[in-house]
Amino acid sequence: MTMAEPITAQKEITLDAIDRQILNLLIANARDSTRTIVKKLAGMGIKMSERGMGKRIARLEKMGVIHGYTAMVDLKQVNMPILRLVTVKFTSPKDFVERLENMKEYLTNSPFCDFSARTNGNIDWIEMKFFNNHEQAQQEEDMYRAWFGDIIEDYRSYDLDIHKMGWQLFDEDDFNRFMQNTFKKQNV
């Protein structure tokens, strides 16, 4: 789905704790076989057959919970060590809507933009871009500001030093457990 596509009502999807664990294992390593996932779940006290695991994964795919699988690479080893976070605050010229569409198209088609989104609050737009070097990042920033300066009131960019990249599914109980364990470790 792109920003231009309307959001349609979706059927409520119910995931149980086992579905969440399976998804977290696939998020961590999508190449794990069903056998490997079954072994990892067994280590967590969840017993399941490989056939049952395959059925669960197929169901998650069919429901559209799993859209596909991807590889995570070491950005430095593929010569993409510069991660830049960009924030933008917009002005409102007469042709703002058209110019915003131009910007969205540019970001959608650019190979270096990994994430872009409209936001609420003091910042209107946020982007994550990856580059081979600082010169490339600066060249793109200069061009971007020249092309879209008519709709930009404030532009800020930050080079990031990544300490963690990746995420996992969690629910309120997982969140509360993490917070309680952290409080205990910190003696709070």
Q: Give the pLDDT score at 188.
A: 66
Over the stretch 113-130, which tens digit does the pLDDT of each residue have? Answer: 999 999 999 999 999 999
CA atoms within 13 A on the CB side of 95: 8
Judge whether residue 144 has pLDDT over 50. yes
Q: Where does 82-160 sit in CATH, by number?
A: 3.30.70.920
Q: Give the pLDDT score at 166.
A: 77
pTM for this model (two decimals): 0.70
* Spatial separation of the C-alpha atoms in residues 113 and 159, rounded to whole Å: 14
Judge whether residue 42 has pLDDT over 80. yes
Q: Where are the domains positioned within the chain?
A: 17-62, 82-160
Q: Which helix (H) or strand (E) holds 84?
A: strand 82-90
